[in-house]
Structure 1
Amino acid sequence: MSTQFSLDALPYVDKQIDEPGARSIVDKMIAAEMKKMPKPRDPASLFPDIELFKDNELMQQELDRVRRGKPMEQLDLTRYQLHAPTSTDSTSTSAPSIDANGSPLSVQPSASEELPEGRAQWTQALENANAQLEHQNQRVLNLELVQKFGNNAWNIHNYQLEYDLSRLRKQVDDKRAQVMELNKLRKRDQLDVAESLHRLETKWGELISSTIQVEMASATMEQELEQLKQYEIKLCKELSVPLPGTEQQ
């Protein structure tokens, strides 16, 4: 059920607020009324206790880490490094291991290709090297794509943002124009009826004044009538005559 409010404020007609001391009185009345209003509830009390990520143990551990203020563990970068297989033959040698940036790592003797375990290690190292090579190829390809299409992509993105900004500004300007037009219509309507309102207000004041004068005259006449009655009773007592209307028929 919607609540309807009947607002009788006419700011362009009523000028009582401009009288000295009127604004301070209004502010005090508003402050007193606001003190009677219930205090707003704490937003946290509006929501029940919710257990986050109760079905995801990994996310719970991460949330607990954030709550305790512990730093995040560093990423494991070993898979981006090229390690030669360890040696099972003390007489064999290998090339030094290098990381993804081409920097040499610790030099260790490589495994012999003649041994089965050595072949497995070399196969694993070769697969890792191929993966690193493909990763570098993808990085180069991405850089080439950014260099070729990046400028246009950013220009299009900026154009879209500028279009959205201009559209939102236009909406704001339209709303402001509507508000301004509504205020103009309200002011015009109030000023059109201001003269009639003042005339009716003056007439109302005159009628109230006439009513008060009639009431005062009636009260004065009733008082005079009561005084005359008392004077009549006094005269009748002094003359020892019955009061009019009390004589026996």
Structure 2
Amino acid sequence: KVDMAGEVTVDALPYFDKGYDDPGVREAATAMVEEETRRYRPTRNYLNFLAPPNIHAFETDIMKNEFERLEARQPMELLSMRRYDLPIPPSGQRNDITAWEECVKNSHAQLQHQDVRIENLNLMLEHGSNAWRLYNEQLVAMLQDAQKQLQSIKKDIQDVNWERKSEQTKAGEKLRTLEANWVNLVSKNYEIEEAIFHLEVLAKTENAKMAQSHAENGKISLKVAEN
């Protein structure tokens, strides 16, 4: 229910209200929804009051470039393996010492890079298991903390539901008492009105009888006086 100020007032008591499973109730509610659905005809611009969506809010430069590539139907650039090659000097520089020196430097750089990778692998074999064990312990601690927060939130929700149920049950009992009093008062009013109606009818009948009796007595007195 919406009041004049636009505030929503919840006038339902879901923990107390009865009759939802009565025959015909669900069908009546469904019919009301369908009837309102038939009356609602959204226009093409019924969302104009909303701000335009920012479709680029989470778009990065990499994503933008990839979208442009897909739009242009260009193939994906393959991973370059050139740095792992050991090319020899071109055919025109096979006798050039400087060109061969560059190839040797490249070979040394490739070898050094492989040595670093091997060293990293050895370090991972030596310390990787402990690092992963510590990481897993951190994940377990994070999981336990999240579970505690979840249980706390569930408890808060349960407390709110119990409070709502208690308040609605009390309000429902009060409404039931007031409704019973109202029915009792209405019944008494009806009985009083019915009694008054019967008394009025009886009074009219008695008045008519008395008037008729007075009229007859008057006629008798008149005849006696004439004789």
TM band (smaller chain): 0.5 to 0.7
- The residue number in structure 1 matching 2:216 is none
The one-letter amino acid of 1:46's match is: P
| Secondary structure of the corresponding residue to residue 5 of structure 1 | coil
Which of 81, 94, 101 aligns to 1:111? It is: 94
C-alpha displacement of 1:35: 5.6
Q: Compared with structure 1, are the counterparts of its residues 5 and 211 closer, same or farther at alpha carbon in structure 2 (3 Å cutoff)? A: farther
The one-letter amino acid of 1:82's match is: L
Q: Provide, for residues 38-76 of structure 1, a one-character-per-residue CA deviation record: whole Å limited to 9, x for no partner.
A: 75859xx933686x99xx7x9766432223444312233
Distance (whole Å) between structure 2 residues aligned to residue 170 and residue 60 of structure 1: 41
Q: Does 1:181 align with 2:187?
A: no
Gaps of 5+ in 1: 89-109, 113-117, 229-249
Distance (whole Å) between structure 1 residues aligned to residue 27 and residue 197 of structure 2: 39
- The residue number in structure 1 matching 2:71 is 67
C-alpha displacement of 1:218: 8.0
C-alpha displacement of 1:36: 5.5
- Where do residues 1-249 of structure 1 align in structure 2 (5 Å cutoff)? 3-33=6-36, 41=47, 46-47=52-53, 62-86=66-90, 111-112=94-95, 118-211=96-189
**Which structure carries more relative contact order (alpha carbon 8 Å, separation 6+)?**
2
C-alpha displacement of 1:29: 2.6
Q: Compared with structure 1, are the counterparts of its residues 217 and 29 closer, same or farther at alpha carbon in structure 2 (3 Å cutoff)? A: farther
C-alpha displacement of 1:32: 3.8
Distance (whole Å) between structure 1 residues aligned to residue 72 and residue 87 of structure 2: 37
Q: Compared with structure 1, are the counterparts of its residues 208 and 142 closer, same or farther at alpha carbon in structure 2 (3 Å cutoff)? A: same
Q: Compared with structure 1, are the counterparts of its residues 86 and 68 closer, same or farther at alpha carbon in structure 2 (3 Å cutoff)? A: closer
- The residue number in structure 2 matching 1:98 is none
The one-letter amino acid of 2:176's match is: H
The one-letter amino acid of 1:14's match is: D
C-alpha displacement of 1:132: 0.7
Q: Compared with structure 1, are the counterparts of its residues 87 and 19 closer, same or farther at alpha carbon in structure 2 (3 Å cutoff)? A: closer
Distance (whole Å) between structure 2 residues aligned to residue 148 and residue 120 of structure 1: 42
Distance (whole Å) between structure 2 residues aligned to residue 28 and residue 211 of structure 1: 37
Distance (whole Å) between structure 2 residues aligned to residue 158 and residue 131 of structure 1: 36
Output the TM-score relative to the length of structure 1: 0.59
The one-letter amino acid of 2:70's match is: V
The one-letter amino acid of 1:81's match is: D
Distance (whole Å) between structure 1 residues aligned to residue 65 and residue 173 of structure 2: 75
Distance (whole Å) between structure 2 residues aligned to residue 152 and residue 197 of structure 1: 66
- The residue number in structure 1 matching 2:213 is none
Identity of aligned residues (%): 31
Q: Compared with structure 1, are the counterparts of its residues 182 and 77 closer, same or farther at alpha carbon in structure 2 (3 Å cutoff)? A: closer
Q: Provide, for residues 117-159 of structure 1, a one-character-per-residue CA deviation record: whole Å limited to 9, x for no partner.
A: x122122112211211121112112211211221122222222
The one-letter amino acid of 1:67's match is: E
Output the TM-score relative to the length of structure 2: 0.64
The number of equivalent residue pairs is 192
Distance (whole Å) between structure 2 residues aligned to residue 46 and residue 36 of structure 1: 27
Gaps of 5+ in 2: 208-227
The one-letter amino acid of 2:9's match is: S
| Secondary structure of the corresponding residue to residue 65 of structure 1 | helix
